Amino acid sequence: MHDTERMNSGEIRAGIGLALVFAFRMLGMFMVLPVLATYGMDLADATPALIGLAIGAYGLTQAVLQIPFGMLSDRIGRRPVIYAGLLVFAAGSALAAGADSIWGVIAGRVLQGAGAISAAVMALLSDLTREQHRTKAMAMIGMSIGLSFAVAMVVGPLLTRAFGLSGLFWVTAGMALLGIVLVVALVPKGTGALQHRESVVAGQAIRSTLRNGDLLRLDFGILALHAILMASFVALPLALVERGGLPREEHWWVYLTALLVGFFGMVPFIIYAEKKRRMKRVLGAAVAVLLFCELFFWQFGNSLTMLVIGAVIFFTAFNLLEASLPSLVSKVAPAGGKGTAMGVYATTQFLGAALGGILGGWLYQQGGLGGVFVGCALLCALWLVIAVTMREPPYVTSLRLPLSPTALRDAGLIQRLLAAPGVADAMVVAEEAALYIKVDTQKLDRTSLERLIESAPAMC
């Protein structure tokens, strides 16, 4: 198979269908962020601290169940886990929709997070796509997550204005059920689970992943980024009302402006980081901008104009970091360890969301808007100190290549590959009859690599 082959219809259907499932689920998670701090105060027993808990509560169960559900899908199949997860998510949405107190919304958000299907969806996508097209299919899901966040920031306030907070949760429940229909109707049936270490968590690799210093730095980074995001969404909607004088029904245009400008603003920096191989420098600069932004909100966010300017800066840095961190994890993870590294990364991301919501609500209750912005700034400062100690990542691409029986018996294959220019790491997994390898494609292209593997001496 060559890279020039096109994705077949089954792969396209799998990519689109599962990307939509991801998008609908993420929409349900994110749509409440811009509205819960303002509309949630109308609920019985609501306090800023409990609003913060409601914002971040889904992250607690999501973090705990993310890896176990992925491993469960290896045992009982991807689809049963995905269907069950979407039903649980819909049940959580319905529970929150019917709640008349903040406690009911918190319970609903906790139940939403228990539908932790991300790992199972990614594993199913790997089962249904060939090796040379898997990166493209994964990119579809990555794009759907980014797009769903942007849409949620705009649609959430509009839906809540039209139908109230309860109506927003009912829409979320409906989207989860629609996700089940999409999997049944659009996603092709697979021939069975594929053991693939680049997209699933390998239990035996968790310990080594947790001992990798650079991966831990990146895990802390995504934890901090989502903690800052959730805490900021406790404060920013309230700041738009209290300081900017903008009615809560009109917040959508602020988020639309910030996200659009922020998206296009980050693109040149992403290109520079990859082309010039300066990802560490760009990462550090983006964290510094995020730190500046929180201090800007604290000191100068006293008018609508200043808050909008701050939001644009915030989302430019946020989008850049959100796009860069997974790429860095992929580069830093050892050969055959990407799936496990991404599983741990996703777990810390959800823990960050939980921590940020809880901390943001508590800080607002103790110190008002300024307390939240200062708390976020301190977390940014800690992240900056950790980020600058990271080594420059290797600029490599992860590949999984099937091995012939002859190549599998070649005792010198790994040594020969590691001696080749551009090969950073390699690992043979005999039970998969596959080679996991990390290659600098500027120094060694795939054709040359395949030729090198096929040059294995004949074995008796």
Whether 224 is in a domain gets the answer yes
Please indicate, yes or no, whether residues 17 and 108 belong to a single structural domain of this protein. yes
Whether 460 is in a domain gets the answer no
Domain end residue (candidates: 395, 428, 443) = 395
Give residue 234's identity as a one-letter amino acid code.
V
- DSSP bridge pairs for 272: none
Whether 264 is in a domain gets the answer yes
- pLDDT at residue 88, rounded to an integer: 97
- pLDDT at residue 1, rounded to an integer: 39
Q: How many domains does the chain have?
A: 3
- Distance, CA of 199 to CA of 124 (rounded, Å): 9
Question: Order of strands, edge to edge, in the sheet holding 397-402?
Answer: 397-402, 434-439, 423-429
CATH no. for residue 72? 1.20.1250.20
| pLDDT, greater one: 192 or 346 | 346
Please indicate, yes or no, whether residues 172 and 286 belong to a single structural domain of this protein. no
Gyration radius of the chain's alpha carbons: 23
Whether 220 is in a domain gets the answer yes
Q: Which residues span the domain enclosing 339?
A: 206-395
pLDDT band (50, 70, 90) for residue 3: very low
Among 200, 176, 181, 72, residue whose Cα is nearest residue 127: 200
Give, in order, the Cα–Cα distances in Å from 121 to each of 12, 23, 102.
15, 12, 31
Please indicate, yes or no, whether residues 179 and 34 belong to a single structural domain of this protein. yes
Please indicate, yes or no, whether residues 179 and 253 belong to a single structural domain of this protein. no
Please indicate, yes or no, whether residues 167 and 262 belong to a single structural domain of this protein. no
pLDDT at 460 over 50: no
Q: What is the pTM of this model?
A: 0.90
pLDDT band (50, 70, 90) for residue 323: confident
Q: Report the 10 Å Cβ neighbour count for 304.
A: 15
Domain end residue (candidates: 138, 157, 189) = 189
Whether 373 is in a domain gets the answer yes
- Distance, CA of 92 to CA of 115 (rounded, Å): 9
Please indicate, yes or no, whether residues 353 and 340 belong to a single structural domain of this protein. yes
Whether 354 is in a domain gets the answer yes
pLDDT in tens, 111-150: 999 998 988 898 888 888 877 777 778 778 878 888 898 8
Domain end residue (candidates: 164, 189, 214) = 189
Contact by Cβ (8 Å): 240, 304:
yes
CATH no. for residue 447? 3.30.70.100
Please indicate, yes or no, whether residues 145 and 211 belong to a single structural domain of this protein. no
pLDDT at 275 over 90: no
pLDDT in tens, 200-243: 777 777 888 889 999 999 999 999 999 999 999 999 999 999 99
pLDDT band (50, 70, 90) for residue 301: very high
Whether 1 is in a domain gets the answer no
pLDDT in tens, 59-93: 999 999 988 998 898 889 899 999 999 999 999 99
Please indicate, yes or no, whether residues 19 and 117 belong to a single structural domain of this protein. yes
Please indicate, yes or no, whether residues 108 and 238 belong to a single structural domain of this protein. no
- pLDDT at residue 457, rounded to an integer: 56
Please indicate, yes or no, whether residues 137 and 281 belong to a single structural domain of this protein. no
Q: What is the mean pLDDT of the chain?
A: 89
Please indicate, yes or no, whether residues 402 and 415 belong to a single structural domain of this protein. yes
Q: How much is the average pLDDT of 244-261?
A: 93
Whether 319 is in a domain gets the answer yes
Please indicate, yes or no, whether residues 247 and 337 belong to a single structural domain of this protein. yes
Give, in order, the Cα–Cα distances in Å from 245 to each of 238, 301, 392, 422.
10, 12, 45, 57
- pLDDT at residue 193, rounded to an integer: 59
pLDDT in tens, 358-402: 999 999 999 999 999 999 999 999 999 999 999 988 888 888 888
- pLDDT at residue 251, rounded to an integer: 94
Contact by Cβ (8 Å): 412, 453:
no
